Structure 1
Amino acid sequence: MMSNEPDVHPRTQNQGQIQVSISAPRHNQPLPVIDKQTLTMQRISGLLSTRSPGNQFNDPDSSDIKLTLSSKDGISVSMNVHRQIVVAHSRFFAVKLSDRWEKQQKNESAGPYIVEIADCDDVEVYIETLKLMYCKDLRKKLMREDVSKVLGILKVSAVIDFDVGVLSCLEYLEAAPWAEDEEEKVASLLVELRLENVGAGEVLKRVSVDVTNGTDDGGDNEEVLLKLLHVVLEGKDEKARREMKGLVLKMLRENSSQNDLRKESLYSACDGCLEHLRKHFLQAASSDLTDASCGEKKWIKLIEF
């Protein structure tokens, strides 16, 4: 998946599935990169060809959009999707496949609408995310996956504004067992995607509790703590922010006694808080009283912490 919003390029000619052809690897030699692409294409082929009875994903007879996903490492795959389904589940597709866009494409081509999404980080995970839009029970489907795969699906879901996918992934992460090396990945991704405002509070709460209970790696603890501190300062969900505030204060006390938190890191976080506060004061000073009253809660939030 992409670090930013994916690039979408409409096309006006039919295009079939493109595969990476490659010779078999020699014995006793590590797999070259291109052979890894072949293995990826084999898994992707299985994803595209396997569906439960009644599931219309990648059904060429009933679909009205030919969607092509291409990655930075040279993999390109085409599949058949249904505009009604992807638009209903994803605000990203709702914008890209708007009525205005549809009319424009209809004038250019009599066949199915052809759309390309370029520079995907992981085409395989993107396809799995699209398949979830056709699934009746997302939570049950996700329970069969591991944490790493769900994190990938969560990232794709967040970028394309697939809200049901995001919430289902968060529910999975709240309940699923984690390995120690996965805690930092979970916390980092949630903060990176700014999902604390859409139900990630309980997951972040679990991360912070796990980090507090395990203090073997002070550097990792400090990094997670600072990210959670950022969530408290930047979060817009007041309930989640209040819950996280108590946990962060507890972690600050415990990390302080164990010398896991450098003064420079804490000063940097405080400096960021003061900078936000200064920005809100400047905005209030340059606006009318009505605007200033709207920003009052933001000042209180920063001052309280």
Structure 2
Amino acid sequence: MTLGGPKKRHRATEPSGSRHLSTIAVIDSSVSDKSVAEVTQTPRCAPTTTDAAGSNIFFNDSSTADVILRLFVETASSTESSSDSRSVDHCPSTSVYLHSDILRRSMYFSALLSDRWMGQSKPDDSDNLFRLNLSVPSTPGSIQSHLTVLELLYSNDFANTIDSASAALDLLAVALEFLFEDCIRSCVTFLEAVPWTEEEEKRVLNLIPFLSEEESKELLARVTPVKADSCEVMLEELILSAIHNYQNMAYVKAFVAKILRDFSSRESAKRVLEKAFNVSLKTVKESLEEYSSPDFRWHHDETEAIQRLNLHKAMTDGKHLLWLVERMIELRVADTAVKEWSEQASFTADLQRAFRDDAWRNIAPGLPAVVLRCTCKLANAVTAGTILATRSVRRKLVEDWLPVLVVCKDNVAPMLPINKSLYLELEETFLGIISTLPMSDAQELLPRCLSFSTRNVEDCPHLVTAFNTWFRRAAQPFKPDH
């Protein structure tokens, strides 16, 4: 007789909860003895328990069993004809001798062996055994997992049996089918305490809906963020740690850069980087503003110490700013940063004043290069089309930062190879941006670039090309046909 109908069973100890069963149980007293096969694997330690009289009861003991359970692999044909026990006779299967008193530890078998169902099917008079057919999924190892859980009904040896996350998941799926509460509890406890692979985590998530709220609480806590913006909060903490909290920042910055590259949401990364960019830029600007303030232009001991502090702070945060700019360009999220960088008239004025002095040389000698590299990175991204800046942004970028370049060339060791290369790159980039502007803007900005020239005209072909291009356009104006 088939136990048809619902796939969902209610647990006696949990009226509001439920377990989904994928098994199909068939009580069949017509199955002959010769259909009972050997168990595919010998029990590890011959699980035993005792009956009410104190006698030992062994798992798969044909001499004392009163139930034969046949486990067969569920196939399409067996599923379609599950009401007919004969339809599963030729499915891959194994059979095991069991004891109804032990099976009742499982609420599923307790219901299956209750008077309501057992009263409709009498044991075979020849051996006084009830015969059950139970379908199992066709996944690899499914029959063995069912046998292992049946063994645990006898042995309670959960500690030695559940020895990995994979094993716990295999057994938990079967324990949920059988409503075997002790096994469910042991599997969940083990899973709470050990790491999971990505594949194991997917399996955990698939099984969580079949657990009670209390059972799944710790598992869910591991995979459920506390807040909707948890990813952005974590990224902010990583960036702040990378630029502030570690002595050897290079390795940490490289790691955080990889995290940002691999992060799935570019918009989230953009928001986090823009926030960090604005904070660092604000710090650098405030430090230069204080350094350039008339209140600190005297060379007293106290003011000199404050000057050193301001320049050191500007240098430190300038390096952080450069790293952030590089990350934003790499992720193609630097459009807002370019716009912000093009609106720094007061900041660039403070930089010019600072670089005309000599104090920075002994305190923060690398500050000019750091600031110009930030400018060069952003300007290069504009000329490459990585950042599509508006006309006004492009013009302001050159207008505000060109004077800083000029001052640096006049005051910051222009002949050092490292500086010469940076200056030349920025010169070419500024001229490239100017070539994208209307001729009226170019006419105003190009004369300010005369400092790019050298004694040898052949050393400044970029400047020669820029002027020749402008004059060529001016001499042959385009006249559209109307």
TM-score (norm 2): 0.36
**For each residue in 1:33-62, what CA deviation from the matched residue of structure 2 results, as whole angstroms up to 9, or x when unmatched?**
xxxxxxxxxxx5224585156561101111
* Offset, 1:187: 2.5
Residue in 1 aligned with 2:92? 75
Partner of 2:40: 45
Name the CA shift for 1:166/1:199 in 2 (closer, same or farther; >3 Å). same
Residue aligned with 2:58, SS: coil
* 2:226 corresponds to: 249
Tell me the CA shift for residue 80 of structure 1.
Answer: 0.4
Q: List alignment gaps of at least 5 residues for structure 2.
A: 1-6, 8-19, 49-55, 76-90, 236-262, 268-482
Matching residue within 106, 115, 125 for 2:132: 115
Cα contact 2:66–2:97 (8 A) shared by 1: yes
Alignment partner, residue 99 of structure 1: 115
Does 1:65 pair with 2:82?
A: no
Q: How far apart are the structure 2 equivalents of 1:46 and 1:117? A: 18
Q: Is the 8 A contact 1:48 1:79 kept in 2?
A: no
Q: Does the residue aligned with 2:231 lie in a helix, a strand or coil?
A: helix
Q: Name the SS for the 2:132 alignment partner.
A: strand
For the pair 1:141 / 2:118, whether they are aligned, the reply is: no
Assess if the C-alpha contact under 8 Å between 2:106 and 2:179 holds in 1: yes
User: In 1, are the aligned partners of 2:22 and 2:136 still within 8 Å (CA)?
Assistant: no
Quote how far apart the aligned CAs of 1:90 are: 1.3
Look up the equivalent residue of 1:190 and give its one-letter code. Answer: I
Percent of matched pairs sharing the same residue:
23
Q: CA deviation at 1:189?
A: 2.3
Q: 1:150 aligns with which of 168, 174, 177?
A: 168
Question: Corresponding residue for 2:146?
Answer: 126
Deviation at 1:184, TM superposition (A): 2.8
What residue in structure 2 maps to residue 178 of structure 1?
196
**What's the CA shift for 1:118?**
2.1
Kindly state the Cα deviation for residue 169 of structure 1 after the two structures are TM-superposed: 0.3
Contact between 1:157 and 1:166, CA under 8 Å: does it hold in 2?
A: yes
Decide which of 78, 85, 103 is 1:86's aligned counterpart: 103
Query: Residues 124 and 130 of structure 2 are in contact (CA less than 8 Å); yes or no, is this contact kept in structure 1?
Result: no
Q: Do 1:65 and 1:113's aligned partners in 2 also have CA atoms closer than 8 Å?
A: yes
SS in 2 for 1:133: helix
Q: Map Cα deviations across residues 111-131 of structure 1 (whole Å, 9 max, x no partner).
A: 200010124341111111111
> Which one-letter code corresponds to 1:84 in the other structure?
D
Unaligned 5+ runs, structure 1: 20-43, 209-227, 229-247, 264-305
1:156-196 deviations in Å (ceiling 9; x for gaps): 111221111111100111122333442232223223x2x14
2: CA distance, partners of 1:159 / 1:104: 23
Contact 1:67–1:116 (8 Å) recurs in 2: yes
Q: Tell me, yes or no, if the aligned pair for 1:14 and 1:114 is still in contact at 8 Å.
A: no
1:197 and 2:213 are equivalent in the alignment? yes
Question: Is residue 174–residue 203 contact of structure 1 (8 Å, CA) maintained in 2?
Answer: yes
Aligned length: 193
- Which residue matches 1:242? none
Q: CA RMSD in A?
A: 3.0
**Aligned-residue offset at 1:261:** 6.7
Question: How far 1:137 moved relative to its partner?
Answer: 3.6
Q: Which residue of 2 aligns with 1:8?
A: 25
Aligned CA distance change for structure 1 residues 98 and 80 (closer, same or farther; 3 Å): same
2:60–2:96 Cα contact (<8 Å) kept: yes
Distance 1:261 1:9, change over 3 A: farther
Distance in 1 of aligned mates of 2:65 and 2:73: 23
Q: CA deviation at 1:100?
A: 3.0
Query: How big is the shift at 1:101?
Result: 2.5
Shift of 1:198: 4.3
Aligned to 2:308: none
How many Å apart are 1:95 and its aligned residue? 1.3
Q: Distance in 2 between matches of 1:126 and 1:107?
A: 24
The offset of 1:96, in angstroms, is 1.1
Q: 1:20-31, aligned counterparts within 5 Å?
A: none
Q: Check 1:107–1:133 CA distance in 2 against 1; reply closer, same or farther (3 A cut).
A: closer
CA distance in 1, matches of 2:213, 2:103: 24
Rg bigger for which structure?
A: 2
Assess if the C-alpha contact under 8 Å between 2:67 and 2:98 holds in 1.
yes
- With a CA cutoff of 8 Å and minimum separation of 6, indicate the structure with the bigger relative contact order: 1
- In the other structure, the counterpart of 2:36 is 17
